[in-house]
Amino acid sequence: MERKYRHRGYMDSDKEDKPAREQRPKGPKEFRSREMPGFHEAYRCSMCGASLNAQIDLESQCPKCKTDLHTCKQCAWFDTSARFECTQPIPERIPRKSVRNSCPSFMPKKAIERDTTSANKVTSARDAFDALFKK
């Protein structure tokens, strides 16, 4: 009996087997390590974004904008969706979040930031171009 349809896939069982695909080598690929930037912890002012010291006491102020740093906005436990806007149990709500307070559970908010400075400093545009396309 002759096949009614001649396109591929229809009744292929009576056709001869297809040739096998070429097998890729199973060994490890060549790996070149890249210089990936690192990460560091940073403390920043919630008002102006200036870099801060990790030690914040009750009298600390931002060196750039002179706002108080021992505030709810600078705290790691500050959350606007939590009760009293704090994830720690506190007895009463602190009404002004950007004003200095003496909360005992204050902990400065830290951010994990990517290091964007390069290890090798470039002095000219030509050096930067060469460093970009070096082999």
What are the pLDDT digits (tens) for 37-91? 778 888 888 888 888 887 888 888 888 888 888 898 888 888 888 888 888 888 8
8 A C-beta contact, residue 8 and residue 87: no
Question: What are the structure tokens assigned to 122, written together?
Answer: 């470039």
Mean pLDDT of 12-16: 58
Residue closest to 80 by CA, chosen among 93, 65, 61: 93
pLDDT for residue 11 is more than 80: no
DSSP helix, strand, coil percent of the chain (3-state; round to 5): 10, 15, 75
